[in-house]
Amino acid sequence: MTMAKKLIGICVLLFALFGLGLILGTVMVPFDSANELIFRLRIPRTLTAIVCGAGIAVSGLLMQTIFRNPLAGPSVLGISSGSTLGVALGIFAYQWVSISFLNEKLTISLMATLGALVVTFFILGVSRFVKKSNTLLIVGLMVGYFVSSLVNIFSFYGDKTNLQSFVYWGLGSFNKEIDLDVLSIYYLAILSMLIIVFFLQKPLDMLLMGEKYARTMGLDVKRIRWITILLVGILVGLITALCGPIAFLGIAVPHLARNFIRKSTHKWVIPFTLLLGACLGLICDIIARLPGLDGNLPLNAVTSFIGAPIVVWIVFKNKMV
């Protein structure tokens, strides 16, 4: 099968899943019934699943390229935990400190992005002194545990109402009762970051060959690494602020894309990772709200159920045991 046919096939699958996302749910809606439920709830939720699924998948791809580690990802390296800490600070501290010139949603978004960036740059700094990638993964996990302990402290001393909203947010969901005007700002910011990623195709290919090779080819490795890390931090921060932490998609989807197209060049890996991330995000969202369920399943329960076996397969395929 040619690359063009594969690309068309993924696009057809994405459109089919988009249609199912509008129809399926805890309440079945006929496809020809264009009512308030579809326009106010289903369309924003489906679009959020597409945009955020694509964004978190591309973030994982960038992390795996930079660290040249198949298990690198926003969640494994503690970046999502940093974003979670930012959200915890935004939710609890907003009630403690009067911030008159910012609204709560904007504060949470800024804090989530800042938390992701702080952890991301810390991991990048550590990577300059750590030679073994497995050691770096351990450092990332420990950072995640440390940050989680801080989150628990804020949760313990926080208001019960805020604690409930924070716990619910941590379960993950593409269903956010936010005006479409506000959602469009998130969409525009995430899509802008994804467009920038396409301009990094050649530098990322050079990094795959090793930093020494990239330098001999005239690439400013330090500059590209920092730009890429900045993109990942902003993407993860925005997506986490909007949907909560999304587990496993960032690790699993890039490997699915590589195995599907049988190529490693970012000219092809980036668009297929983006499309497969959008498809898998939609699939997880559809499963989370299948007809007959009493309410919606937590998004992370579905992504973990699908993504965990893929990560185990990655470990055995790369002989990391």
Lowest mean pLDDT among 46-60, 124-138, 299-313: 124-138
Residue type for position 35 = N
What pTM value is reported for the model? Answer: 0.85
**Model confidence at 100: pLDDT above 50:** no
Q: Computed from CA positions of residues 62, 304, 190, 262, in that sequence, does the dihedral angle turn out positive or negative?
A: positive
Higher pLDDT, 102 or 270: 270
How many of the other CB atoms lie within 10 Å of CB of 160?
A: 7
Choose among 299, 288, 267: nearest CA to 3: 267
- The predicted-structure confidence for 210-233, as pLDDT tens digits, reads as follows 778 888 888 888 788 888 888 888
CATH architecture of 3-317: Orthogonal Bundle (1.10)
Domain ranges within the chain, ordered by starting residue: 3-317
Give the DSSP letter of residue 297: P
d(CA 78, CA 124): 12
pLDDT of residue 247: 81
Q: Tokens 């978190």 sit at which residue?
A: 56
Task: Output 103 or 228, whichever has higher pLDDT.
Answer: 228
Instruction: For 254-281, write each residue's pLDDT tens digit.
Output: 988 988 888 888 899 999 999 999 999 9
Give me the mean pLDDT over the 197-211 stretch.
88
List all residues 6 or more positions away from 206 whose beta carbon is below 8 Å from its beta carbon: 213, 214, 217, 219
**Dist CA 114 CA 105 (whole Å):** 14
The residues, any chain, with a CB within 8 Å of residue 310's CB and separated by 6 or more, are 248, 251, 252, 255, 256
Lowest mean pLDDT among 103-117, 138-152, 267-281: 103-117
Q: How far is CA 100 from CA 86, 97, 107, 112, 241, in A?
A: 19, 9, 11, 19, 20
- CA nearest neighbour of 71 among 130, 131, 138, 120: 138
Determine the pLDDT at residue 291: 63
| 3-state percent helix, strand, coil for the chain, nearest multiple of 5 | 75, 0, 25
Least confident of 8-12, 26-30, 60-64: 26-30
Higher pLDDT, 270 or 73: 270
Task: Calculate the alpha carbon distances from 103 to 28, 77, 209, 314 in Å.
Answer: 36, 30, 45, 42
Q: E-strand spans in the chain?
A: none
The confidence score (pLDDT) of residue 321 equals: 46
Q: Are 126 and 136 in contact (CB under 8 A)?
A: yes
pLDDT at 95: 56
Residue corresponding to tokens 């890996």: 269
